[in-house]
Amino acid sequence: MTVRELVVLGTASQAPTRTRNHNGYLLRWDGEGLLFDPGEGTQRQLLLAGVPSSAVTRICLTHFHGDHCLGVPGVVQRMSLDRVAHPVAAHFPASGREYFGRLRAASVFHDVLDLREEPLSTDGPVASGPSWTLEARRLDHLVESFGYRLVEPTAGGCCPRSWPAPGCPARTSAGCSAPDRWTSAGGPCGWTR
C-alpha cells in the first residue's frame, strides 16, 4: 500500500515550548521515510507520533545549527538499538562533515546501523527512487545550508487553477502526477497549496 504522509514532529525552532518540540519532519513517501532536521527530542517525538525508528530511510539536514541536528544522536542510537536492518543515508552540507561525525559518535553505543554519509556540496539531484527524485539547493542562511525538494516525474495533469475542470485526467485516473498535487493511488488528488 502506498503511504504518503508528512509527520510534523516539532516546529519550535531554537527554543522549545511546553507544546512544541524543536524542528523535526518525517515525510513518508511510498517506501521511503525522509527525516528532515531532527532537533533535540526527535526520538521521543517519533514515539509519540507512533512512528517506529525503522520508518526512517534517510536523514536530511539542512544545516548544523543545533535545532536542526541535535536529535541525530538519539535517532541514530535508537535505530541501532532497534536493529534497523536497511541502510540509512545521511545528507548534509559537506562543510559540516566534522559536526556530523561528532553527532554520530556523541556517546558510546553498540553501533550496528548501516548509516551512509552522503555530504552535499552542489545543487542538484541527491537520490532517486521509482517515483521520486530528491533534490537539494543552497539556501541563504548564516551558515551553509541546503533545502530539499522531492520531485515526481510530470505526466499529464492539468493546471491547478482550472481544478476541477471537466475532463481533467486527474479526476478519473488512478494516479495523478501533476506537479502541484498530492497523489493517492486509487483516490482523489488533493491540493498542496
Residues annotated as part of the active site: 67
In whole angstroms, the minimum distance from the beta carbon of 64 to Zn ion comes to 8
In whole angstroms, the minimum distance from the beta carbon of 68 to Zn ion comes to 6
In the window 120-159, what residues touch Zn ion (CB under 5 A)?
none
Cell numbers representing residue 92 in the block: 548534509
Which is nearest to 89 in space by CA: 136, 144, 48?
136
**DSSP assigned state of 74:** H
Stretch that binds Zn ion, among 34-42, 63-71, 72-80, 161-169 (CB under 5 A): 63-71
Q: How far apart (Å, rounded) are the C-alpha atoms in residues 156 and 179?
A: 9
Interface map 10-49 toward Zn ion (x if CB under 5 A): ----------------------------------------
Residue 65 makes contact with Zn ion by CB under 5 A: yes
Give, to the nearest 10 degrees, the angle between helix 72-81 and helix 97-104: 50
Identify the three-state secondary structure at position 10: strand
> Cβ closer to Zn ion: 58 or 65?
65
Q: Across the strands, what pairs with 114?
A: none
Residue 58 makes contact with Zn ion by CB under 5 A: no
Question: What is the total residue count of the chain?
Answer: 193
Residues that bind Zn ion (CB under 5 A): 65
